[in-house]
Amino acid sequence: MGDADLTAPSSAATLAMDPVAIEKMMAACRELADEMADLAAITRAELDVDRFGLGESVPDLVSARHLADRIRRAAVGTGTDQTGSALGLFAAQEAYARELERTLADALAAYRGGDETLADEVVRTD
């Protein structure tokens, strides 16, 4: 193992990237992130409300208040803590999709930069 020449040319296949496929994946990431943001906005508008109409304002219907609180926690979390709520899930998925898009964009830029460097080297050797 220690005698192997790690600088010798490899017989392994060349890594190639399809820029069009990467751009399509980036567009899909943008679309997913936008959809998650839309779902978060809908969740806030429709489920972060004071009353659901379950009878939670009737003093004797304690179970209705408990149910309304449970729905609200599942939808938007409690206070600033969105952990485990639909809103928290949408925010996490939006952030992940945007981060994946940036990662793909960086990889594509590096790939194109490598192509330009290789093309410059080929031109100089001719």
Has residue 60 been placed in a domain? yes
Global model pTM greater than 0.85: no
Has residue 24 been placed in a domain? yes
Has residue 126 been placed in a domain? no
Alpha helices in the chain (DSSP H): 19-47, 62-76, 86-125
Has residue 94 been placed in a domain? yes
User: Residue 29: CB partners within 8 Å, gap ≥ 6?
Assistant: 97, 98, 100, 101, 104
Partners of residue 81 on adjacent β-strands: 78
> Distance between CA 27 and CA 101 in Å, rounded?
8
> Distance between CA 107 and CA 26 in Å, rounded?
11
Range of the domain at 63: 20-119
Q: Which residue has the tokens 């998650």?
A: 36
Has residue 10 been placed in a domain? no
pLDDT tens-digit readout, 71-110 = 999 999 988 888 899 999 999 999 999 999 999 999 999 9
pLDDT at 68 over 80: yes
- Other C-beta atoms closer than 10 Å to the C-beta of 34 total 13
Has residue 38 been placed in a domain? yes
Has residue 115 been placed in a domain? yes
pLDDT at 1 over 50: no
At residue 76, the pLDDT reads 92
Has residue 3 been placed in a domain? no
- pLDDT over 70, % of the chain: 79
At residue 72, the pLDDT reads 92
3-state secondary structure of 101: helix
Work out how many domains the chain is built from and give that number.
1
